[in-house]
Amino acid sequence: MFLTNCLQAISAMSAASQRLLQLGAAPRAALLNPIVTGPLLWALAVAPNAIQGPLLQQLDRLPLDNATVVTALKVLFGLGIANTLNSLLNSMATNGWSLTSDSSRWNWSQELAVVTGGCSGIGELVVKGLADKGIRIAVLDVQPLPQRLKGYNIHFQTCDITDPTAVHNAAETIRSKVGHPTILINNAGIGSAHTIVDTTPRQLQKIFGVNLLSHWYTVGEFLPAMIKQDKGHIVTVASMASFVACPSIADYAATKAGALAFHEALTQELRHRHAAPHVHTTVVHPNWTRTPLVADHAAHIEKHQGPLLTPDVVAAGMVKQVLSCRGGQLFYPEFLSSVSGIRGFPHWLQERIRDGIGKLGTGA
């Protein structure tokens, strides 16, 4: 009976998550915003009759009684307070327990951002977003710079980021022609669906090279100057696959889990090995996003797992984080941040979740 009740609760949570996703970001944010729910709760529970009366008249049109609405608002208000406090503590923890930003040290027209994989998808939109703020950009990619980006202040360099010599040569050119970067966004990523036994050594070398090993090469080139100034921002694009590995993308999930570990160790090294706490670090965990990476399986994913994210949502969040002059850990959609704790769940619950995802698959 206990197990049955637990599984029913899991199903209910999953259904609630889907309803939240369908609501859209703005309504979800409003429901968990105590600035919204607090005044409504006050108006319905303790406000003078002159204020409460008109609201109660409006509620009479709904198939809910006043007591139910007040109870729901109390729950939402409590959750909103907890969520706000949690967000504050998260922000402090990812910034050396500091509440303030060092925005006074940043002059966007003088900053230089290196973006890997900046010619398409999320990377292209990040490049555009940063360039719109006057930030100079250096793009490293194997694809040509698209025509739509050629009106911006962009230094483009063809570079195979899986080759440390190529990265070193590109970095030398950037330093000599443009300057020392203060922002590095390791965005480039690839992936394809195949089982573990069908994965070839060549595929492994390529995906680990692009999605993970390249982070060592780029950071090795550009971090020393940031440490010297105690100023910089390194953004690591990981994935929700950092926490939950799906069938047919074991190599992809392994690289993204590795990218998360890289971010965590880098953050600690900056604090405790290099004494450079003002070099910020951010890691980004998008769920399935409508990019060329998932183009072949987009219809299947949407059918079984809900609508895909759009690249502009993820890119806008990344740009906003850089401009905040603070590090962080970003989840898209945001309510999936709870998935980050899955490895601390009881094993029976972990496997139940993985089984549910595994049965849906990626369409491979």
H-state helical runs in 150-249: 164-177, 201-208, 214-229
What backbone phi and psi angles, to 5 degrees, belong to 138? -120, 120
271: left (phi over 0), alpha (psi -120 to 50) or beta: alpha
Residues marked active site are found at 252, 256
Report DSSP state, residue 103.
G
DSSP element (H, E) containing 329: strand 328-332
Q: How far is CA 16 from CA 12, 23, 76, 103, 343, in A?
A: 6, 11, 14, 39, 22
Tell me which H or E stretch contains 23: helix 2-23
Distance CA 166, CA 149 (A): 23
Per-residue DSSP letter, 213:
I
CB atoms within 10 A of CB 62: 10
Q: Are 318 and 118 in contact (CB under 8 A)?
A: no
185 near 222, Cβ under 8 Å? Answer: no
Cβ neighbours of 11 (radius 10 Å): 11
For residue 62, what are the CA distances in angstroms to 56, 66, 175, 203? 10, 10, 64, 57
SS (H, E, C) 137-193: EEEEECCCCCHHHCCCCEEEEECCCCCHHHHHHHHHHHHHHCCCCCEEEECCCCCCC
Please provide residue 100's backbone torsions phi and psi, each rounded to the nearest 5 degrees.
Answer: -105, 155
CA separation for the pair 128, 158 (Å, rounded):
18
Task: Name which of 175, 183, 218 is nearest 323 in CA terms.
Answer: 183
* H or E segment and range at residue 192: none
